[in-house]
Amino acid sequence: MVRTQIQLSEDQAKIVKTVAAAQGVSAAEVIRRAIDAVVQTPSAGDMAEKRKRALAIVGKFKSGKSDIATEHDEYLAEAFDR
């Protein structure tokens, strides 16, 4: 491992210590896990599973509208109340 030094706000430090105590690990381990969760790139297996799950829901929901392909911008603007 590489030793490094970081600065945390007081609130961040309290949260890290609280999580560490709850999980029974060091503060450094909490920070390592947080970094891994943020920068972890999905493997090919993960992407294949995500694709499979996405394709499994295709066509399962219906809007009742037949012009979504041509009017999608209008519907999106309406959904976001613009």
Residue 70 lies inside a defined structural domain of this protein:
yes
- pLDDT given for residue 11 in this prediction: 97
Residue 16 lies inside a defined structural domain of this protein:
yes
- pLDDT given for residue 82 in this prediction: 63
Residue 2 lies inside a defined structural domain of this protein:
no
Q: What is the pTM of this model?
A: 0.51
Residue 39 lies inside a defined structural domain of this protein:
yes
How far apart CA 7 and CA 75 sit, in angstroms, is: 45
Residue 28 lies inside a defined structural domain of this protein:
yes
71: containing domain: 10-79
Taking only the tens of pLDDT, the chain with its 82 residues reads: 999 999 999 999 999 999 999 999 999 999 999 999 888 777 777 888 889 999 999 989 888 889 988 999 999 998 898 6
How far apart CA 39 and CA 65 sit, in angstroms, is: 39
Residue 5 lies inside a defined structural domain of this protein:
no
The total number of structural domains in the chain stands at 1
- pLDDT given for residue 39 in this prediction: 83
Residue 46 lies inside a defined structural domain of this protein:
yes
